[in-house]
Structure formats: structure tokens, C-alpha cells
Amino acid sequence: MLSYLAFGSNLGDSLATLKKGRTLLAERSDISLLASSKLYETKPYGDVVQDDFLNGAILVETSLTPEELLTAIHQVEADLGRQRMIHWGPRTLDIDILLYGDEKIDLPILKIPHVELTKRSFVLIPLKDIYREKNLLGEPIDYWINASGNQNEVKLSTKEW
């Protein structure tokens, strides 16, 4: 199944952490990396004072179920020092499942499409780099980027992964 994942980091060496997280997922036999977005520097989302984030997105093909993919992602986050202490707070690595094929999932631990997807330019802009479909949730992706109202907080980074 094709799945789009969002990556973000604003603690420690964010670039190295994003690269390592992507590599750890791609090294698995049940996940194949198909594409990576450019990287973007973004203002933090929410009301917690913190450093800017480095964000990107990847497209993978996986034989994992959505729940298994979430478990694999949580393991990579934990292996790279992720601690869940402050909601929308600073983090070494945050990986979110944005889309999993055309599936709609509404579980207490997993919502697909990601519940905040259309509100976050820091996710939508990297996603646009690799998105293969004409429309996202019934509209062109640029519609959602413009509707988010925070697209000016996302800047193309000179860093590459």
C-alpha cells in the first residue's frame, strides 16, 4: 500500500535525525522508500515557545497494516530519542501517517487521513513535492495550502536529505 509520511524535528541535530529516521524505515523489508520531499524550515505549530522545525515528507510502499506502520514509526521515533512530554512541544523526531492509500481510519490511536492534514502548510508543502494524485481530499493540494493560512511560515531549506 502507498503511504505518505510527514517528518519533523526541532531538537538536537534535526537534519541527521530526519535522515536517520528515514533510513531506519527504508531499511525494513516491509517498507520501500519511493520518494522524498525537499526539506523546509517552519515555525512551530501551537502555543509552545520553541525553536523552528525542519520538516519533510516521504512516500513509501508497505505491506504493513496502518496499525503496524504506526508501531514501526513509534519504534523509530523512540530509537532516536523521542519523548512525548508536551503536546505540540519540541521533539527530536515526529513522524505522522498522513495518508494510507485511500483508506479512512478512525481509531483512538490513529486517524487517517491525518486529522490536521489540511490545516498545516508545514505538512502540505512538503507533501506537494511528492504527491502523485491530482486532488487531495477532493481539492487540488494548492487549495489546502492556501486555505491553511500559514503557508508564509514555511521556507525552503538549504539542507538536503
Question: Comparing C-alpha atoms, which of 47, 49, 54 is closest to residue 22?
Answer: 54
Which one from 22, 51, 84, 96 is the annotated catalytic residue?
A: 96
- Residue 94: active-site member: yes
Distance set, CA 145 to CA 59, 63, 100 (Å): 19, 30, 20
Which one from 52, 82, 129, 132 is the annotated catalytic residue?
A: 82
Which residue do the cell numbers 483508506 mark? 103
Which one from 13, 47, 51, 91 is the annotated catalytic residue?
A: 91
Which one from 84, 94, 102, 120 is the annotated catalytic residue?
A: 94
- Residue 96: active-site member: yes
126 class by beta-carbon count within 10 Å (0-12 exposed, 13-18 middle, 19+ buried): buried
Catalytic residues: 82, 91, 94, 96
